[in-house]
Structure 1
């Protein structure tokens, strides 16, 4: 009993000695700490990085039945696009032929093909990107641009690729295979939203035929620190000692030898990373998207729900958005989650948010009713907007701060309109007048 009262003091003394010993080892040999730090960063990168096929997967699935009726398969309990993609990994003896270009009739004949599932991108990607989602089965095909992939549910020897920009239609021939897995996807418990593909100002777009109800969400957000990005984008470079810091009102700017600059706006919770080193000044879609993906990996942001949204060829800007229930999130300024831009041969820019949705929180908010696509367009025109200036309409969720906590946000369903090149919410446009 007398000895037992000394056990705790002795154990504490040993722990202190061990701690001091380890500290001395780290102080006298910084390489140990650096190696451990690099190992930690590697582990973090592996944890948040998603394969290219994940980030560049299509974002919408549409089923056309035997009568030609079309519905959007909305992601609720299962991801419809991911389930369809799983059936695309076993293609054999792949070959391609061009069926038509600049023919609206042929385009819509395939886009409206009965007994098919169509996967769609927000804007065209290259065949090399599509190759990623087919388990590299398309690697020998010509590098055409692709907006939509049409998978027949009654013909196992063909699939079709469409390009919205020039109405190109490509037929991909494959070795006959079982269609059971593809048809089994249609048996899953998806929500089905009636839709049709129509032209809007000369470009194909998916129209929602009827009004629909969407569930608002409340999310706990991940508020990442500025130091995390400084460490990933600047301090893991060779020249750490040259980093300077400037502060002005709500803006903090870190610079490194005039080559790298990282700025944070504490008011908007946005970060901007500018790289002024010489780059390859990529011009084609494949190289731009590949370079953009590498920037995502460097950033180290969790990509669990982040998807490619669109690529603006005029500004060479790639936009990524976080998706909820298959629909993208829009902030009040129209921004998504991450954007990367190639300015010229000596400048690239990466913009990103420091706050991102992480965990859904139960909410008692009632469903919100949204009008059909044609109703949205008609009301916008009635309010003085020009239809020819509407480039695209997209169902999505608006990011709203929750008044009860800085760590909570409300995601409110709404239509989003690409008007004169900028994304704006339908509600704000209507209420402006």
Structure 2
């Protein structure tokens, strides 16, 4: 009885001592706190790192019917391109040859051939990237640069690769295989959109030939803290002493030698610079591979993130989040992540601290977007030089939701690459 009299006070004293000890450890070494927080909040621990074949995947499927008419294939329940990719794993004994070059006639003859599905990449990729979506079946083929894959639905021994540059067509002969699974994709409940594939200012472009009904979305976003990225990117053996500078809405972390991390609180964007030596290979495959490794290193959520563009001059690679096969654009044209190799001793990544996570019901009705021809004609009537447009995309505009900082609105809109910048059709029309 006498011992139990002192048991509770003794236990409380031990608890207080332990608590104070832990507090001292956290105060004297905040990196431990960031590491623990990283373990608890790491998005890469909550979702699997996506393979190259996922990130460097085609983003659009066009079906050319037996009568030559074309439609964009969209399925709200499953990703159409993913379903088609599942049928592309059994190509045996592939042999490739150049079918034509510098011939627009031959290029469009193959691209628009009847009974075929064309998979479009958002920008040029190398065959090494294509190899990742065909289960390594093309590993022995030359590392050509391509933009599109044409899959005949009535010929089980051939497929075609199209390179927009120089209008090049490659033919791949393969051992005969079953086309049943590929044709079964066409039997799914699709929301098709009439389209045509032709030239826009000498660039192969998918034209939407009728008005498009698009569903606006409201998304709950994943908001990652600065601490997570500080711990992930700067907490290493090479960065023992981290300095912090604060300038208005900008916070700069650096190790005084090779690493720097900048956060902008106004737009929730971050910039990570790594000044350590890198391989600095200038070919497309090396750049895409290095960019993918940097994407993994950052640890941003990768669900629905796809390769969007590559700028050879600046060696920049852009990734965007896709919704129903359509890319998301912010007001400044930025996407989800951009990586850039500056030289042999500098790489830089820009990324968002906020990313769409969960779609929520929206009370807004469908938005009607004009056809490609109508959209271009209206811009021309407003005084824009259509010859300065090299690309067009249907996408979603990211805007902050007024009701909550954890919500965003995704509004359908046309985007055009005008004067080397992605600009929305609505913003261009509202300028005059």
Q: Shared fold by TM > 0.5?
A: yes
Q: Please show how residues 205-354 of structure 1 align to structure 2 within 5 Å.
A: 205-241=205-241, 243-354=242-353
User: Could you tell me how far 1:178 is from its partner in structure 2?
Assistant: 0.5
| CA deviation string 1:386-407 (max 9, x = no partner) | 1111011100000011111111
Which residue does the alignment assign to 1:148? 148
Which residue does the alignment assign to 2:113? 113
Q: Please show how residues 11-410 of structure 1 align to structure 2 within 5 Å.
A: 40=39, 45=44, 47-48=46-47, 49-241=49-241, 243-410=242-409
Using a 3 Å threshold, how does the CA distance of structure 1 residues 366 and 349 change in structure 2: closer, same or farther? Answer: same
| CA deviation string 1:48-93 (max 9, x = no partner) | 4111111111100111111111100114111000000000111111
Cα distance in 1 for partners of 2:40, 2:139 equals 32
Using a 3 Å threshold, how does the CA distance of structure 1 residues 295 and 101 change in structure 2: closer, same or farther? Answer: same
User: Could you tell me how far 1:239 is from its partner in structure 2?
Assistant: 2.7
Cα distance in 2 for partners of 1:418, 1:147 equals 17
Cα distance in 1 for partners of 2:22, 2:145 equals 56
Cα distance in 1 for partners of 2:159, 2:318 equals 28
Q: Is the 8 A contact 1:75 1:326 kept in 2?
A: no
User: Could you tell me how far 1:344 is from its partner in structure 2?
Assistant: 1.6
Q: How many residues align?
A: 422
What is the DSSP-based 3-state SS (H/G/I as helix, E as strand, rest coil) of the residue aligned with 1:87? Answer: coil
User: Could you tell me how far 1:101 is from its partner in structure 2?
Assistant: 1.1
Cα distance in 2 for partners of 1:136, 1:83 equals 18
| CA deviation string 1:206-261 (max 9, x = no partner) | 000001110100011111101111111111343322x1111101011111133111
User: Could you tell me how far 1:39 is from its partner in structure 2?
Assistant: 10
Cα distance in 2 for partners of 1:19, 1:125 equals 56
- Structure 1 residue ranges without an equivalent (≥5): none
Using a 3 Å threshold, how does the CA distance of structure 1 residues 161 and 102 change in structure 2: closer, same or farther? Answer: same
Cα distance in 2 for partners of 1:42, 1:359 equals 17
Cα distance in 2 for partners of 1:189, 1:315 equals 42
Cα distance in 2 for partners of 1:18, 1:68 equals 79
User: Could you tell me how far 1:17 is from its partner in structure 2?
Assistant: 11
Q: Is the 8 A contact 2:215 2:365 kept in 1?
A: yes
Cα distance in 2 for partners of 1:294, 1:348 equals 12
| CA deviation string 1:154-194 (max 9, x = no partner) | 01101000001121100111110110000000011121000
What is the DSSP-based 3-state SS (H/G/I as helix, E as strand, rest coil) of the residue aligned with 1:252? Answer: strand
Higher mean displacement: 47-56 or 164-173? 47-56
Cα distance in 1 for partners of 2:41, 2:134 equals 28
Using a 3 Å threshold, how does the CA distance of structure 1 residues 43 and 255 change in structure 2: closer, same or farther? Answer: closer
Using a 3 Å threshold, how does the CA distance of structure 1 residues 173 and 38 change in structure 2: closer, same or farther? Answer: farther
Using a 3 Å threshold, how does the CA distance of structure 1 residues 38 and 426 change in structure 2: closer, same or farther? Answer: closer
- Structure 2 residue ranges without an equivalent (≥5): none
Q: TM-score, normalised by structure 2?
A: 0.92
Which residue does the alignment assign to 2:425? 426
After superposition, the CA RMSD in angstroms is: 2.7
| CA deviation string 1:269-290 (max 9, x = no partner) | 1000111122222211100000
Q: Is the 8 A contact 1:77 1:190 kept in 2?
A: no
User: Could you tell me how far 1:40 is from its partner in structure 2?
Assistant: 4.2
Q: Is the 8 A contact 2:50 2:302 kept in 1?
A: yes
What is the DSSP-based 3-state SS (H/G/I as helix, E as strand, rest coil) of the residue aligned with 1:430? Answer: helix
Using a 3 Å threshold, how does the CA distance of structure 1 residues 366 and 9 change in structure 2: closer, same or farther? Answer: farther
What is the DSSP-based 3-state SS (H/G/I as helix, E as strand, rest coil) of the residue aligned with 1:166? Answer: helix
User: Could you tell me how far 1:145 is from its partner in structure 2?
Assistant: 0.4
Q: Is the 8 A contact 1:334 1:422 kept in 2?
A: yes
